[in-house]
């Protein structure tokens, strides 16, 4: 006699149509999971893993259109495998797996990625701390050093093997410029709970070595939680020292250049005030002319300093107007001749017609004056000035008109190894005086006009400077 099996009491599932078992592929689901008595509870939405349903497939030709539950509306990727059972399983509702983002895998602390066109981030490679140019020191939540890269060892002079595993204050003993220990002062692990960083500052290592140190406190909740990691960056002070030396040299040069004319002005004015009646009119005129020349020298030096500050800050203003470049050049040559330079030393070559030039007239005069002064003071023989039209092809295929000016002399020229430094601050071609700032300012002015300047050797020996200024015709006139 055939017995009847009774399922344990359970909440019955709402009926739903299920495709015949024969139309389904062989199952990978254990039979115990699909037992008639437990299927409704096991496949409840709260207990079915999404991954188990998302990975299932349906063989080609399977007809699921008659399903009355959510299976009919499910994504084709969310299908189920089944196997023929001795008794067909009761009808159940199958909940399709929702679409979700892939799980995030833990990666290295420092990594590099590339954003693809569809928004995905492709991980390229991990960055090795040993490849960083700056020193990197990392301490864990207990305050012990867990990373001390090669740059940190080089900058601090402390071997990495001695630093790893030690407390941060012992591995990297730092002091401020007043000799106080820095780590107890900042107290990254027990100080203010809202502090997350330390700005860069000068600190001292044992032995007096100076380093630039900045720190970041990584907290558990990102704001006020306990510190779980302290990241310290170390940099050498060589670049800052070079900048400071440059500033000190600038101050020394300015002081020297100002002292000479001011001494002359002071001496002549004091003499004239005390002994005015003892001098003839010609003597008084000579003294006053000397005072005027020295005052002009001081004014010129102050203007150079202002130009340097504007060039460095990128704030050099250019007030464009139409400039007669050959006429300005002849005025400068006439001034040199009036100052005592032999007229036969100058040769001016102008290749007409020249395109109209819109530039800052005062700054163009400054460029011409500096180049002629260099050629007369540091060069020898004939100084040749050529003014010719110039045409350049831009990247977009358009032609740009401009004017090229070449100033060359017949002196010893500039040594080959010094040519790259000609347009830097304080470069002097000889010991004949000067601040060493003129050519630096010339380059800044030419580039502010959108032009270029270069130096090489003249065909007959000596130095040859060539600068090009674009026409820069205003839009309303072009």
Residue with tokens 């400039």: 323
3-state class (DSSP) for residue 379: coil
- pTM passes above 0.95: no
Pair 344, 477: CB distance under 8 Å: no
As a whole number, mean pLDDT of residues 218-244 equals 85
Average pLDDT for the chain: 75
pLDDT number for residue 313: 83
> Left, alpha or beta for 442 (phi > 0: left; psi -120 to 50: alpha)?
alpha
Give residue-wise pLDDT tens across range 112-167: 444 444 444 445 456 788 888 889 999 999 999 999 999 999 999 899 999 999 99
Pair 29, 42: CB distance under 8 Å: no
Give residue-wise pLDDT tens across range 41-51: 333 344 444 44
Pair 471, 356: CB distance under 8 Å: yes
Beta bridge partners of 135: 234
Beta bridge partners of 216: 197, 231
If one compares 111 and 288, the residue with the highest pLDDT of the two is 288
As a whole number, mean pLDDT of residues 195-221 equals 89
As a whole number, mean pLDDT of residues 285-289 equals 90
Residue 69 is given by DSSP the state S
pLDDT confidence of 60, banded at 50, 70, 90?
A: very low
Q: Is the pLDDT of residue 213 over 90?
A: yes
Q: Is the pLDDT of residue 397 over 80?
A: no
Q: Of 294, 300, 301, whose CA–CA distance to 264 is shortest? A: 294
d(CA 327, CA 319): 19
What length is written for the chain?
478
Rounded to 5°, angle at Cα 187 from 185 and 188: 135
pLDDT number for residue 315: 86
Q: Is the pLDDT of residue 421 over 90?
A: no
Pair 325, 387: CB distance under 8 Å: yes
pLDDT confidence of 248, banded at 50, 70, 90?
A: confident
H or E segment to which residue 468 belongs: strand 463-470
Beta bridge partners of 114: 122
Pair 175, 204: CB distance under 8 Å: yes
Q: Where are the beta strands (DSSP E) in 116-226?
A: 121-126, 135-139, 145-148, 197-204, 210-219
Question: In this structure, what token pair is assigned to residue 39?
Answer: 């299927």
pLDDT confidence of 107, banded at 50, 70, 90?
A: very low
Give residue-wise pLDDT tens across range 439-469: 999 999 999 999 999 999 888 788 999 999 9
pLDDT number for residue 54: 39
Four-CA torsion 137, 142, 146, 152, nearest 10 degrees? 20
pLDDT cut 70: percent of the chain above it:
71
> What's the maximum distance between 2 C-alpha atoms anywhere in the chain?
154
pLDDT number for residue 432: 55
Pair 216, 230: CB distance under 8 Å: yes
d(CA 476, CA 169): 67
Helices (H), 275-345: 281-313, 325-338
pLDDT number for residue 4: 43
d(CA 358, CA 321): 5
d(CA 472, CA 93): 78
CB neighbours of residue 329 within 10 Å: 21
Question: In this structure, what token pair is assigned to residue 455?
Answer: 């130096």
Pair 42, 61: CB distance under 8 Å: no
pLDDT number for residue 72: 37
CA dist 296 → 154, 292, 307, 308, 445 (Å)? 51, 6, 16, 18, 21
pLDDT number for residue 140: 94
Question: Beta strand pairing status for 321-322 and 358-359?
Answer: antiparallel
Question: Beta strand pairing status for 135-139 and 145-148?
Answer: antiparallel
Q: Of 85, 95, 96, whose CA–CA distance to 33 is shortest? A: 85
H or E segment to which residue 387 belongs: strand 383-393
């Amino acid at each position: 006699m055939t017995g009847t099996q009774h399922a344990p009491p359970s909440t019955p599932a709402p009926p739903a149509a299920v495709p015949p078992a024969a139309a389904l592929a062989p199952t990978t689901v254990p039979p115990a999971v699909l037992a008639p008595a437990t299927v409704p509870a096991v496949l409840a939405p709260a207990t079915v893993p999404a991954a188990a349903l998302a990975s299932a497939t349906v063989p080609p030709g399977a007809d699921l259109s008659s399903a009355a539950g959510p299976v009919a509306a499910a994504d084709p990727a969310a299908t189920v495998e089944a196997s023929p059972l001795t008794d067909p399983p009761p009808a159940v509702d199958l909940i399709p797996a929702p679409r979700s983002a892939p799980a995030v895998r833990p990666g290295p602390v420092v990594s590099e990625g590339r954003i693809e066109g569809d928004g995905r981030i492709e991980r390229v490679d991990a960055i090795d701390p040993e490849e960083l140019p700056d020193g990197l020191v990392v301490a864990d939540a207990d305050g012990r050093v867990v990373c001390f890269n090669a740059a940190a060892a080089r900058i601090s002079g402390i071997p990495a093997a001695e630093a790893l595993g030690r407390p941060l204050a012992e591995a990297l003993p730092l002091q401020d410029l007043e000799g106080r220990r820095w780590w107890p002062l900042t107290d990254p692990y027990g100080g203010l709970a809202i502090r997350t960083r330390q700005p860069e500052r000068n600190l001292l290592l044992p032995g007096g070595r100076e380093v630039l140190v900045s720190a970041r406190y990584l907290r558990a909740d990102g704001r006020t939680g306990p510190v779980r990691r302290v990241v310290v960056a170390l940099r050498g002070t060589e670049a800052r020292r070079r900048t400071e030396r440059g500033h000190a040299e600038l101050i020394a040069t300015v002081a020297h250049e100002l002292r000479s004319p001011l001494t002359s002005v002071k001496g002549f004015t004091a003499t004239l005030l005390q002994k005015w009646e003892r001098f003839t009119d010609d003597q008084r005129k000579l003294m006053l002319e000397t005072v005027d020349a020295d005052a002009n020298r001081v004014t010129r030096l102050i203007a150079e300093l202002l130009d340097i500050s504007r060039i460095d800050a990128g704030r050099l203003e250019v007030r464009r107007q139409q400039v007669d470049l050959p006429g300005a050049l002849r005025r400068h040559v006439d001034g040199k001749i009036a100052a005592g330079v032999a007229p036969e030393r100058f040769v001016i070559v102008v290749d007409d017609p020249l395109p109209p030039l819109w530039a800052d007239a005062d700054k163009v005069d400054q460029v011409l004056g500096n180049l002629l002064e260099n050629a007369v003071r540091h060069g020898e023989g004939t100084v040749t000035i050529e003014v010719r039209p110039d045409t350049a092809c831009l990247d977009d295929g358009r032609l740009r008109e401009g004017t090229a000016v070449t100033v060359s002399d017949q002196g010893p020229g500039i040594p080959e190894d010094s040519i790259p430094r000609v347009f830097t601050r304080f470069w002097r071609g000889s010991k004949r005086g000067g601040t060493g700032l003129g050519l630096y300012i010339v380059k800044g002015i030419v580039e502010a006009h959108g032009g270029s300047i270069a130096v090489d050797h003249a065909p007959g020996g000596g130095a040859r400077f060539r600068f090009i200024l674009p026409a820069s015709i205003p839009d309303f006139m072009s």
